[in-house]
C-alpha cells in the first residue's frame, strides 16, 4: 500500500491492497458463484475421486509385487504429464463444464496420494505384523491394526500436497476453457486489463487453499 502510494504506481500495473479489497467487496456475488463452481464441483469431486482411487490402487499394489512393478512406472509417467498439456485435452473430452476440471484434479492428485499410501504401508513394523499373525489375526486385521495406522502420517502429508495441486489444477483447467469459475474469471479480468479483479480472485483461491490445508491439519491431530 505504501509503495503504490509513494511511487504513484498506476492501478493497471499494481493496484493498492485497499483497491483490491474494495473490488473484492463489490464483486462478492459474482466471485461467490464462480467460487462455488470451482470448489463444490471441480475441486471437491475431483479431489475425492483422485484420493479415493489412489487409496484403492495403493492397497492393490501393496498386496501384489507384480502390480507394483507394472503400475508404478505408469503412475510416474502420469505424474510427469504437465497440467498445461492435460487441461486442454480434458476440456475436449469432457466439455467446458465442471467434469473436465474434475478430471484434471483427479489426474493431479492421484499419484501423490498413491505414493503417500505406499510409503506409509511400507513404514509398518514387521515385528508388530508378526505378533498379530501369531495371535491369529487375519490379513485384514493386520492391515487394519498395523499397516493402516502406520500409513496415516504419510497419508496426511500427501493429502496436504494434493490440496494445492487440486486447487491449482482446477483453476488452470478453467483457464484453459470453462463456462464459469475462478479460472475463467481471472482470464476475463486479465483480458480486460483489470489486475484488481485478478488479485481479488487470486486471494479467494489462496484463501480456499489455506482453509483446506488447515482443515487437514486439524483432522490429522484428531486421528493420528
In tens digits, the chain (224 residues) has pLDDT values of 999 999 998 888 888 899 888 888 888 888 888 888 888 888 889 999 999 998 998 888 888 878 877 777 777 777 777 777 788 888 888 887 888 888 989 988 888 888 888 888 888 888 999 999 999 988 888 888 898 888 888 888 888 888 888 888 888 888 777 778 888 888 888 888 888 888 888 888 888 888 888 888 888 888 87
DSSP assignments along 104-117, one per residue? HHHHHHHHHHHHHH
Report the alpha-carbon distance of residue 127 to residue 125 in Å, rounded: 5
Half-sphere exposure at residue 14, Cβ-oriented, CA atoms within 13 angstroms: 9
Residue 162: how many CB atoms within 10 A of its CB? Answer: 25
Report the alpha-carbon distance of residue 207 to residue 181 in Å, rounded: 15
Burial of 140 (0-12, 13-18, 19+ CB in 10 A): exposed
DSSP assignments along 74-135, one per residue? HHHHHHHS-HHHHHHHHHHHH-SSHHHHHHHHHHHHHHHHHHHHHHHHHTS-HHHHHHHHHT
The answer to whether the CB of 12 falls within 8 A of the CB of 148 is: no
Q: Give me the domains of the chain, ranges plus CATH numbers.
A: 34-223 (1.10.3720.10)
φ, ψ of residue 4 to 5 degrees: the values are -60, -40
Cell (9 digits) for 77: 509417467
Cell (9 digits) for 37: 463452481
**221 CA to centre of own chain:** 20
Amino acid at each position: 500500500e505504501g509503495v503504490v502510494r509513494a511511487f504513484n504506481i498506476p492501478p493497471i500495473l499494481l493496484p493498492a491492497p485497499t483497491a483490491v479489497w474494495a473490488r473484492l467487496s463489490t464483486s462478492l456475488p459474482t466471485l461467490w458463484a464462480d467460487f462455488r463452481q470451482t470448489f463444490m464441483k471441480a475441486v471437491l469431486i475431483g479431489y475425492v475421486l483422485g484420493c479415493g482411487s489412489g487409496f484403492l490402487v495403493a492397497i492393490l499394489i501393496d498386496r501384489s509385487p507384480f502390480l507394483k512393478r507394472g503400475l508404478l512406472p505408469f503412475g510416474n509417467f502420469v505424474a510427469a504429464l504437465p497440467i498445461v498439456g492435460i487441461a486442454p485435452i480434458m476440456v475436449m473430452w469432457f466439455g467446458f463444464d465442471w467434469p473436465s476440471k474434475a478430471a484434471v484434479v483427479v489426474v493431479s492428485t492421484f499419484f501423490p496420494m498413491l505414493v503417500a499410501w505406499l510409503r506409509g504401508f511400507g513404514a509398518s513394523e514387521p515385528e508388530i505384523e508378526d505378533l498379530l499373525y501369531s495371535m491369529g489375526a487375519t490379513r485384514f486385521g493386520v492391515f487394519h491394526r498395523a499397516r493402516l495406522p502406520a500409513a496415516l502420517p504419510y497419508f496426511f502429508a500427501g493429502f496436504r500436497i494434493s490440496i494445492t495441486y487440486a486447487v491449482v489444477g482446477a483453476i488452470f483447467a478453467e483457464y484453459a476453457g470453462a463456462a464459469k469459475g475462478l479460472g475463467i474469471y481471472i482470464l476475463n479480468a486479465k483480458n480486460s486489463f483489470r489486475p484488481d479483479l485478478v488479485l481479488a480472485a487470486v486471494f479467494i483461491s489462496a484463501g480456499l487453499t489455506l482453509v483446506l490445508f488447515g482443515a487437514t491439519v486439524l483432522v490429522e491431530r484428531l486421528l493420528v
